[in-house]
Amino acid sequence: AFFVTCAEGDDPAATLTSLHTRLGLGEIDANAVATKTRRVISAGADTGARRGIAVWSELLAHEYNFVDSRAFPLFVSLGLRWLAGVRDDVGSAPIGSVIEDVQTATTESGRTIRTLGDAFTPVAAGRYGLEGGRRVDATLLDPLVTGGADASTSPEPYGAAIGFDIVPWLLLLAAVLLCIEWILFQRGRIP
């Protein structure tokens, strides 16, 4: 379905993996397309003299929903940027995180922020221009989500730290009461 030609010296597998994520190819319902086209959906990569992205023409037909999907505008715009070799060096950082070696930052509105030390901490969401032409998007996401940490390092959900779950105890209490009622009924104490 997709074939990527990357520049000489680039790793084709790494390029394909990166583009799969960045271009929104994971949004495509590959099973539905494979069923409708009766073809195996695949993606491949190789090196060549110039960059290129090849797409099945069937995927661009309206019956396969790729053109109407939310992934298509992302695919086109980021695909063209990749083909042109434009690097979008915008990093992301959660609000409240510390960005080292920065004395000044510029907000989207053009306001300059000077730090007291050699680190910058974004306090509001938005894009900040840093020294040396670097840019960073401050997000509202949790640092563990933004940093890509796995679930084993994420904090416990609210209330999980107490270590007491009441549901099993309530079920046990209901079972005990049911047993007591049955015994009393068998002995004739409950009509």
| Band of residue 172 on the pLDDT scale cut at 50, 70, 90 | very high
- Domains of the chain by residue range: 2-84, 90-146, 159-191
| Band of residue 92 on the pLDDT scale cut at 50, 70, 90 | low
Task: Please say whether the beta carbons of 93 and 107 come within 8 A.
Answer: no
Residue 32 has a CB neighbour count (10 Å cut-off) of 12
**pLDDT, tens digit (0-9, with 9 covering 90-100), for 99-109:** 776 767 777 77
**pLDDT, tens digit (0-9, with 9 covering 90-100), for 116-149:** 667 777 777 777 777 777 777 777 655 454 444 4
**pLDDT, tens digit (0-9, with 9 covering 90-100), for 39-86:** 887 888 888 888 898 888 877 877 777 788 777 787 888 888 888 887
